[in-house]
């Protein structure tokens, strides 16, 4: 809502999950504003936000990446283009690792 649909009155979020033997792939896609390549290249950096001073801390996606790759033992990728929305793809093992090194 904050990023994808800023300045828009409507939009669609799509959540889908697919089971692939020992993995599940979860996609979370919006058809909103999207991101240019400069923003896209930095979104997982801690404290990187395009909403500085307007409520953004820049920690949301950094924490998400750490949780997905660390605690859950999976991967997180994003594809986006300006004006064409964003798609986040999580690949998670059905069995999370029993211990993680932080
Ligand atoms: N669905 C999206 N559509 C367009 N841009 C996005 C989307 N999700 C994230 N972004 C961009 O990625 C940047 C980093 O996201 P992140 O969640 O880390 O920080 P934030 O949302 O700005 O602040 P916080 O989540 O800490 O409140 C955002 O500032 C925004 O520019
Ligand atoms: Mg956020």
Ligand 1 pocket: which of 43, 77, 83 to mutate (most atoms within 8 A of CB): 43
Domain that holds residue 18: 13-83
Q: Does a structural domain hold residue 66?
A: yes
Cβ–ligand 1 contact at 86 (below 6 Å): yes
Nearest one of 67, 62, 72 to 24, comparing CA atoms: 72
Q: Does a structural domain hold residue 97?
A: no
Domain count, the chain: 1
Q: What is the pLDDT of residue 70?
A: 93
Q: Does a structural domain hold residue 96?
A: no
Cβ–ligand 1 contact at 31 (below 6 Å): no
| Residue 57, domain CATH | 3.30.565.10
Q: Which pLDDT band holds residue 98 (cuts at 50, 70, 90)?
A: confident
- Measured in angstroms, how far is the CA atom of residue 61 from the centroid of ligand 2? 6
Largest CA distance in the chain: 44
Beta-sheet strand order (sheet of 13-20): 13-20, 23-30, 86-93, 75-80
Q: Does a structural domain hold residue 73?
A: yes
Encoded tokens for 95: 């069995």
Q: Does a structural domain hold residue 99?
A: no
- Measured in angstroms, how far is the CA atom of residue 21 from the centroid of ligand 1? 32
Q: What is the pLDDT of residues 19-48, one digit of tens each?
A: 999 999 999 999 999 999 999 999 999 999
* Global confidence as pTM: 0.93
Cβ–ligand 1 contact at 6 (below 6 Å): no
Q: Does a structural domain hold residue 56?
A: yes
Q: Does a structural domain hold residue 43?
A: yes
Contact 72, 88 (CB under 8 A): no
- Measured in angstroms, how far is the CA atom of residue 46 from the centroid of ligand 2? 11
Nearest one of 27, 26, 31, 25 to 13, comparing CA atoms: 31
């Amino acid at each position: 809502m904050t990023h994808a649909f800023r300045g828009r009155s409507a939009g669609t979020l799509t959540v889908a999950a697919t089971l692939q033997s020992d993995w599940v792939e979860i996609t979370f896609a919006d058809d909103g504003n999207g991101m240019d390549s400069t923003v896209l290249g930095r979104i997982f950096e801690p404290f990187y936000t395009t909403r500085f001073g307007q409520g953004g801390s820049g920690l949301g996606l950094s924490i998400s990446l750490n949780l997905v790759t660390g605690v859950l033992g999976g991967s997180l990728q994003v594809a986006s283009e300006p004006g064409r929305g964003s798609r986040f793809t999580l690949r998670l093992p059905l069995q999370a690792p029993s211990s993680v090194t932080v």
